[in-house]
Amino acid sequence: MRLTAGRPILGLLLAAWLPGSAAVAQGGEGLSPTLARIKAAHVVHLGYRESSPPFSFLDQAGRPIGYSLELCEAVVDEIATEVDDPDLKIDYVKVTSDDRIAAVLTGKIDLECGSTTANAERAKQVAFSPLMFVAGTKLMVPKGSAINAATDLKGKTVVVTKGTTNEQAMHNVDKKFSLGLTVVTSSDHEQSYQMLADGKADAFATDDILLYGLIARHKSQDKFRVTGDYLSYDPYGIMFAKGEPQLTAVVERAFRKLGSNHDLIPLYNKWFVARLPTGERLNVAISPQLEDAFKAMDDSPAGNN
């Protein structure tokens, strides 16, 4: 079992190497910068979010858990094989939507395991794993609110979490419909939720799945609802250092192994359909688009027929 630095690992195990895998590098020679750093320190630093259920959040004991973290831990197993260090430790490092990219760029974290949209602008700075989820910006409003669409926001105050694609989406909507919005920011999704709950905003705009997760976590189905058309398209990925083909290959290989073992859909169901370790249940079935993407990652002989 893998050791962790102060945190227990969720323990997602991968299958053995597939035929044709790259040779394992010995020592630090021949390894990309991130992999060499990991091998030297015997530690992988995973960035986690405190309030992005079910992707990355804290359980009742304050430990990071979630769908994205399980995927990252699968990548760690593949990294361990690549650097020939079966006893790699994991250090969980808190990041926010505002500092997560900087954390990757500075090497503070090796993998960012949250709810991060993979888009062209961010891809100029960082690399992303294969698709792990598809979301989009929607609005959370009080149950009795007259707001049902973006066009109902004229003159209203909308809270967004700083550093998210949702912030830009709301500025785009404001400009498109001349809404005269007041867009305010908070440091994380929990604070944005609290601003709505405290009446300091008329709506909270973020990815729909995160809104459903927060409502479930706070058991506030009788207080808030999610409404409106999608205001953005947000494909999620695990974020890591750009310009390291060897690291990219390791990440992609981990996803392919999960696909080959048919583990991706059960893993999705564990976090989005079944009851979470914290007690709530989202009941969000996998989309046909994501299911097809997962099936395409099956690189077993049967998956290539």
Residue 15 covered by a domain: no
Global pTM? 0.84
The answer, yes or no, to whether residue 4 has pLDDT greater than 80, is: no
> Do both 125 and 244 map to the same domain?
yes
**What is the tally of structural domains in the chain?**
2
pLDDT of residue 298: 78
Does residue 211 lie within any of the structural domains? yes
pLDDT in tens, 246-272: 999 999 999 999 999 999 999 999 999
Confidence of residue 18 (pLDDT cuts 50, 70, 90): very low
Asked if 217 and 247 sit in the same domain, the reply is no
**pLDDT tens digit string along 71-101?**
999 999 999 999 999 999 999 999 999 999 9
The reply to whether 180 and 221 lie within a common domain is yes
Same domain, 158 and 108: no
Is residue 168 in a domain? yes
Same domain (yes/no): 227, 239: no
Query: Is the domain of 227 the same as that of 241?
Result: no
157 and 226 share a domain?
A: yes
CATH code at 78? 3.40.190.10
Among 211, 232, 253, residue at a domain's last position: 232
123, 245: one domain = yes
Per the domain annotation, does 299 fall within a domain? Answer: yes
Which tens digit of pLDDT belongs to each residue from 118-167?
999 999 999 999 999 999 999 999 999 999 999 999 999 999 999 999 99
pLDDT higher than threshold 50 for residue 13: no
Q: Which of 217, 232, 247 is the last residue of a domain?
A: 232
Range of the structural domain that residue 115 is part of? 33-133+235-304
Cα separation, 252 vs 149, whole angstroms: 38
Q: Does residue 7 surpass a pLDDT of 90?
A: no
Task: Band the pLDDT of 297: cuts 50, 70, 90.
Answer: confident
Domain assignment of residue 185, yes or no: yes
Concatenated DSSP letters for the chain?
A: ----SSS--------PPPTTPPPPPPTTTT--HHHHHHHHHTEEEEEE-SEETTTEEE-TTS-EESHHHHHHHHHHHHHHHHTT-TT-EEEEEE--TTTHHHHHHTTS-SEE-S--B--TTGGGTEEEPSP-EEE-EEEEEETT-S--SGGGGTT-EEEEETTSHHHHHHHHHHHHHT---EEEEESSHHHHHHHHHTTS-SEEEEEHHHHHHHHHHHT-TTTEEEES--S--EEE--EEESS-HHHHHHHHHHHHHHHHTT-HHHHHHHHHTSBPTTS-B---PPPHHHHHHHHHT--STGGG-
